[in-house]
């Protein structure tokens, strides 16, 4: 009976992702329901309340999240605020006794990621990172192809994700709120994919950065390319940019063939092909519903999440090594 209970999720930060993806996805979950709102914008609260019927008693501001401790309707807080506010909001939720699912990147420094992990552990609550691609059947199929050595051991991986970031007046271009630019925001998908495909941690990274618009990208990285070596011998070369809606691929060249996804990181429509002519194409699923249902099941069944806080921290550590390499012009051991 426990396992069939729906867990109440409070959305913390009612911006674009919450409105267009997560709130609609919550309606499709089997183990969750939208039960609370945390926001600094009354108009957004009113819009969400009108659409989803969240009661006034389950609406909070960022500064009074501790009041959630008395609200049994809320089990999980989903943190969907700018990157550099994730620790503050996660720690407040954990102190109120809630499990926390936090959007990627987990935070902007290893220390802050660790403080989030510590706060959740101290509260006896689970921390998850919003790595939706690890629920995409196309990515799961690529993981299977590597694990089962269908084409032999991976030799070269290529992964890249670039978006045109758009308007100059947004938090994504402010270092204090974003912690970094394209690499932190979308390059992280390429990095993460190389880690879950190989099942290994990279040991050394070498990176280059370029800026064609130093005014717009005064505070954060615009375009980066980096190469990593994995202990099993594979090499990955990855790239990211905020300048173009361009690369969005994932490719593995292995001993006896290759496979690739292109596009690889979209909400839907991802697909790919293999060197033996077989297509990699699965029916679309809602990735946000899938990640939330899995997180809820981890809580209900008291098992660890594959997208744990520790996983989020590992990527942030590597992101920092990539930045260090670009800054110093040297390869950095991780
Ligand atoms: P938005 O700017 O659209 O929304 C962020 C929200 O955070 C705001 O609407 C606001 O909500 C709240 N907020 C609190 N303090 C601030 C502040 N000082 N400045 C700006 N906003 C603030 O961003 P997104 O929804 O696109 O991104 C949010 C998070 O989700 C990021 O960490 C991002 O990396 C991640 N993301 C993940 C994606 C995925 O596919 N997994 C895709 C897109 C984003 P309110 O007005 O309610 O207070």
Do residues 242 and 109 share a domain?
no
Do residues 108 and 206 share a domain?
no
> Measured from the CB, is residue 81 less than 6 Å from ligand 1?
yes
Chain position carrying tokens 């935070």 = 107
Do residues 320 and 176 share a domain?
yes
Contact yes or no for 111/91 (Cβ under 8 A): no
Query: Strand, coil or helix: what is 90?
Result: helix
What pLDDT does residue 5 have? 80
Do residues 127 and 177 share a domain?
no
Beta-carbon neighbour count of residue 218 at 10 Å? 13
Contact yes or no for 10/98 (Cβ under 8 A): yes
Do residues 67 and 29 share a domain?
yes
Cα–Cα distance for residue pair 105/96, rounded to 1 Å: 23
Residue 173 lies in a domain: yes
> Measured from the CB, is residue 80 less than 6 Å from ligand 1?
yes
Q: Of 60, 78, 135, 189, which residue is the catalytic one?
A: 189
The pLDDT of residue 64 is above 80 = yes
Residue 309 lies in a domain: no
What pLDDT does residue 192 have? 98
Do residues 128 and 142 share a domain?
no
Do residues 220 and 118 share a domain?
no
CA-CA-CA-CA torsion sign (187, 204, 226, 321): positive
Residue 4 — pLDDT band, cuts 50, 70, 90? low
Do residues 254 and 324 share a domain?
yes
Do residues 50 and 175 share a domain?
no
ipTM of the complex: 0.99
C-alpha Rg value of the chain to the nearest Å: 20
Do residues 206 and 323 share a domain?
yes
Strands 257-261 and 204-210: unpaired
DSSP bridge pairs for 156: 235, 253
Residue 310 lies in a domain: no
Query: What kind and span of H or E run contains 123?
Result: helix 110-123
The pLDDT of residue 19 is above 70 = yes
Sheet holding 235-241, edge to edge: 279-280, 272-274, 257-261, 248-254, 154-162, 235-241, 223-229, 204-210, 332-333
pLDDT tens sequence across 197-245: 999 999 999 999 999 999 999 999 999 999 999 999 999 999 999 999 9
Do residues 190 and 328 share a domain?
yes
CATH assignment of the domain containing 50: 3.40.50.720
Q: Domain containing 186: what range?
A: 137-283+316-333
pLDDT tens sequence across 116-130: 999 999 999 999 999
Residue nearest ligand 1's atom 38 by CA: 17
Residue 172 CA: distances (Å) to CA of 132, 185, 236: 20, 8, 26
Residue 308 lies in a domain: no
Q: What is the average pLDDT across 315-330?
A: 98
The number of domains in the chain is: 2
Residue 118 lies in a domain: yes
CATH assignment of the domain containing 321: 3.30.360.10
> Is 104 marked active-site?
yes
Q: Of 78, 104, 135, 242, which residue is the catalytic one?
A: 104
Contact yes or no for 199/153 (Cβ under 8 A): no
Residue count of the chain, please give it: 334
> Is 47 marked active-site?
no
The pLDDT of residue 1 is above 50 = no
Best CA proximity match to 159, nearest among 243, 249, 273: 249
Q: Among 15, 87, 106, say which to mutate for ligand 1: greatest number of ligand atoms within 8 Å of CB.
A: 15
Residue 20 lies in a domain: yes
How does the average pLDDT of the chain come out, rounded?
97
Strands 332-333 and 204-210: antiparallel
> Measured from the CB, is residue 15 less than 6 Å from ligand 1?
yes
Beta-carbon neighbour count of residue 5 at 10 Å? 12
Two tokens, residue 251: 């490719």
pLDDT tens sequence across 252-295: 999 999 999 999 999 999 999 999 999 999 999 999 999 999 99
Do residues 116 and 151 share a domain?
no
Residue 265 lies in a domain: yes
Residue 311 lies in a domain: no
CA triple 109-110-111, angle to 5 deg: 90
The pLDDT of residue 297 is above 60 = yes
Q: Among 90, 103, 135, 193, say which to mutate for ligand 1: greatest number of ligand atoms within 8 Å of CB.
A: 103
Beta-carbon neighbour count of residue 304 at 10 Å? 11
Provide CB contacts within 8 A for 207, sequence distance 6+: 224, 225, 226, 227, 322, 323, 325, 326
Contact yes or no for 122/91 (Cβ under 8 A): no
């Amino acid at each position: 009976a426990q396992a069939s209970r729906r867990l109440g999720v409070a959305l913390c930060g009612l911006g674009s992702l919450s409105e267009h993806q997560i709130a609609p996805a919550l309606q499709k979950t089997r183990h969750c329901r939208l039960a609370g709102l945390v926001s600094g914008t009354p108009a957004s609260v009113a819009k969400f309340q009108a659409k989803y019927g969240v009661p006034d008693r389950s609406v909070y501001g960022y500064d009074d999240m501790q009041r959630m401790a008395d609200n049994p309707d809320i089990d999980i807080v989903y943190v969907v605020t700018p990157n550099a506010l994730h620790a503050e909001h996660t720690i407040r939720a954990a102190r109120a006794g809630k499990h926390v699912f936090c959007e990627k990147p987990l935070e902007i420094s290893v220390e802050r990621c660790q403080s989030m992990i510590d706060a959740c552990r101290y509260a006896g609550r689970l921390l998850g990172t919003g790595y939706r691609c690890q629920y995409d059947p196309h990515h799961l199929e690529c993981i299977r192809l590597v694990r089962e050595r269908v084409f032999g051991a991976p030799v070269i991986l290529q992964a890249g994700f670039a978006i045109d970031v758009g308007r100059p007046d947004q938090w994504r271009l402010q270092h204090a709120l974003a912690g970094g630019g394209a690499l932190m925001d979308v390059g992280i998908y390429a990095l993460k994919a190389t880690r879950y495909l190989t099942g290994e941690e990279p040991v050394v990274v070498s990176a280059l950065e370029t800026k064609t618009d130093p005014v717009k990208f005064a505070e954060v990285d615009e375009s980066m390319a980096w190469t990593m070596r994995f202990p099993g011998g594979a090499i990955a070369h990855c790239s990211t940019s905020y300048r173009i809606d361009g690369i969005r691929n994932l490719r593995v060249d292995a001993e006896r063939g290759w496979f690739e996804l292109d596009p690889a990181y979209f909400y839907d429509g991802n697909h790919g092909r293999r060197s033996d002519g077989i297509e990699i194409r699965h029916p679309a699923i809602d990735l946000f519903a899938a990640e939330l249902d899995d997180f809820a099941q981890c809580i209900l069944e008291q098992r660890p999440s594959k997208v744990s806080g520790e996983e989020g921290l590992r990527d942030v550590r590597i992101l920092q090594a990539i930045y260090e390499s670009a800054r110093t012009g040297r390869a950095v051991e991780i």
